[in-house]
Amino acid sequence: TLGEDAAYIDNVDLPVISTALGLASAKLTLFSVGNSYQVQLAGQSGLEYVIQASPDLVNWQPIATSVATNGVIRFTEPGAAGKPSRFYRAVAR
């Protein structure tokens, strides 16, 4: 019935590789936490990353900007699990 569809995501690994700037590869991991998604980025220590989200892989919006202290960034997006579709990427600055 309408509105009763469900999806479950747990420990999805999304490798991100950038060779244009000679940066080391980074890895995004997505965790479902209640009605939220937690994005964890393992990247180059001390580098600033912008985490972006999109409903359709075309229109991207920045949702967090942070420096990867010790190479790790964690960000929780409240309410994201209730959206029909959600995609994430990280852009190094």
Domain boundaries defined on the chain:
10-92
Radius of gyration for the chain, computed over Cα atoms and rounded to the nearest angstrom: 14
Nearest to 39 by CA among 17, 13, 3: 13
Contact 51, 29 (CB under 8 A): no
Amino acid present at 57: L
Q: Residue 9 above 90 pLDDT?
A: no
**pLDDT band of 15, cuts 50, 70, 90:** low
At residue 60, φ and ψ (nearest 5 deg) are -105, 135
Percent above pLDDT 70 for the chain: 74
Bridge partners of residue 67, in order along the sequence: 48
Confidence tier at 93 by pLDDT (50, 70, 90): confident
- In the block, which residue shows the tokens 């990427």? 89
What is the CATH code of the structural domain delimited by 10-92? Answer: 2.20.130
How confident is residue 4, by pLDDT bands cut at 50, 70 and 90? low
pLDDT tens column, 42-69: 999 999 999 999 999 999 999 999 999 9
pTM exceeding 0.85:
no
- Give, as one character, the DSSP assignment of residue 83: S
Please report the pLDDT score of residue 24 as a whole number: 67
